[in-house]
Amino acid sequence: MNQSFFIKTYGCQMNDYDSNKMEDLLTFNGFSKVSNVEKSDVAILNTCHIRKKASEKLYSDLGRLSVFKENKNKLGKKMHIIVTGCVAQAEGNEIIRRNKSVDYVIGPQNFHIIPKLLKKKKTNQIFTEFLCEEKFKSLPSSNIKNVSRLVTIQEGCDKFCTFCVVPYTRGAEYSRQVEDIYAEVLNYIKNGTSEITLLGQNVSSYKSIIIEKSKKKEVNLSGLMNILSKIPGLKRIRYLTSHPSDISDDLISEHKNNKSVMPFLHLPVQSGSSKILKLMNRKHTKEEYLSIISKIKKNVPKMAFSSDFIVGYPGESNNDFEETLDLIEKVDFASSYSFKYSPRPGTPASTKKNYINDQISNLRLKKIQELLNKQQKTFNTSFIDKNIDVLISGRGKKENQYVGRTPYLQPVHIVSSRNLIGKILKIKIESLTSFSFHGKIIA
């Protein structure tokens, strides 16, 4: 009988992409996917190290998983436990030291070796080399059918923000070749995909080279989107995550001129205080961020913005926090994520002594979330009674219900007796419940 595998994914979309790729790899090698960990022969935990809470989830899940494994062993059955992702890269040996039932610890640039490892007897091994090129070359084509798919175009990060583990867990920046990305997108479109999200922790610094008319030509993110948008059947292109210091005029023009590129930009700022931004090594000031936003708004009026914020970074005064609230008021975000600063081992900020008291951080988090939620609600409410294009991506929970997304990623529920999956429809928005719309088909 086929061996089965289970994957649990923590963290960001880059991990979602990696989990999809592990699924492709394992199904290509004859394994079948199960959604219940207890039924699996191979359990993969694809982990995230970004904040303390995220990485601690691994150890509580491992505790439960090792009990399953022991019980299976008692019945004479084998089970492999594999820890992949950013905690694997950051903690390596420590994971096996804390839990002996783990067979393999595999960093984000090594998961292509999983099928080979599962054929071998040797366990308790760690693989954490940075092998981006080899990894991408070893990935088989995909049979997953999804209207919207993620495509990692760049790995790693060279920015070294002082709070962040990513440059250590994902390694140096590496941009994939245009031809490889193109082939991957074609594969997805053949499987029914109409929307792609190009991924990288620093996707706006993507750089590659193509040969055009026997000459070398540099391709950046906007150039790549331009090439991909010519693929028949590809209706929408998104990208994530950009850094404010890499927003080029080309990118703004691509938004202006290319209808496939969605008018929604996730541009994390982290803080509105230039003092804190400097301490974070974010490479731009509050004013520079605001001027990028106003330049984009001027050139592409329908553009909406989202961001990430960290409150309670060491040394953040009340005044610094007020600067963040002021920046939020000035930009007017469509949606955002906000986090309490979490000191991460090995990062420069973690050695700072001037931590912000937890109570103050909690209050700041509450305040910032109230403001961001208010802005999100105002943004969403402005769509009521308007018509908007919605890409239908799947079925809803109720009978004949379908779910789709607007260009701004707002979920929309509609009712139809026809199968609408993969279509872009004009929908009149009728109501808003929490963060999701209900509407009716206009065309």
Chain residues binding ligand SAH by CB under 6 A are 50-51, 163-164, 166, 201-202, 241, 243, 268, 270, 308, 310, 339, 341-342, 344
> Considering the complex, what minimum distance in angstroms separates the CB of residue 385 from ligand SAH?
34
Q: Verify binding: residue 50, ligand F3S, rule CB under 6 A.
A: yes
Residue 49 or 159: the one with the smaller Cβ distance to ligand F3S is: 49
Q: Verify binding: residue 223, ligand F3S, rule CB under 6 A.
A: no
Residue 49 or 112: the one with the smaller Cβ distance to ligand F3S is: 49
User: Looking at 11-19, 241-249, 257-265, 395-403, which segment touches ligand F3S (CB under 6 A)?
Assistant: 11-19
Which of 112, 243, 284, 405 is the binder for ligand SF4 (CB under 6 A)?
Answer: 243
Residue 176 or 413: the one with the smaller Cβ distance to ligand SF4 is: 176
Which of 43, 48, 65, 131 is the binder for ligand F3S (CB under 6 A)?
Answer: 48
Output the CA–CA distances (angstroms, integers) from residue 69 to 75, 83, 309, 317, in the order listed: 10, 14, 40, 49
Count Cβ atoms below 10 Å from residue 80 Cβ, excluding itself: 20
With tokens 């592990």, the residue in question is 22
Which of 161, 269, 310, 392 is the binder for ligand SF4 (CB under 6 A)?
Answer: 161
Q: Verify binding: residue 88, ligand F3S, rule CB under 6 A.
A: no
Partner interacting with residue 160 (select from ligand SAH, ligand F3S, ligand SF4, none; CB below 5-8 Å by kind) = ligand SF4
| Paired sense of beta strands 80-85 and 42-47, if any | parallel
Q: Verify binding: residue 86, ligand F3S, rule CB under 6 A.
A: yes
Footprint of ligand F3S on residues 159-188 (CB under 6 A)?
Answer: 165-166, 169-170
Positive or negative, the Cα torsion across 59, 61, 63, 66? negative
Cα–Cα dist 233/158, whole Å = 34
Residue 339 or 383: the one with the smaller Cβ distance to ligand F3S is: 339
> Considering the complex, what minimum distance in angstroms separates the CB of residue 5 from ligand SF4?
29
Binding site for ligand F3S (CB under 6 A): 11-12, 14-15, 48-50, 85-86, 165-166, 169-170
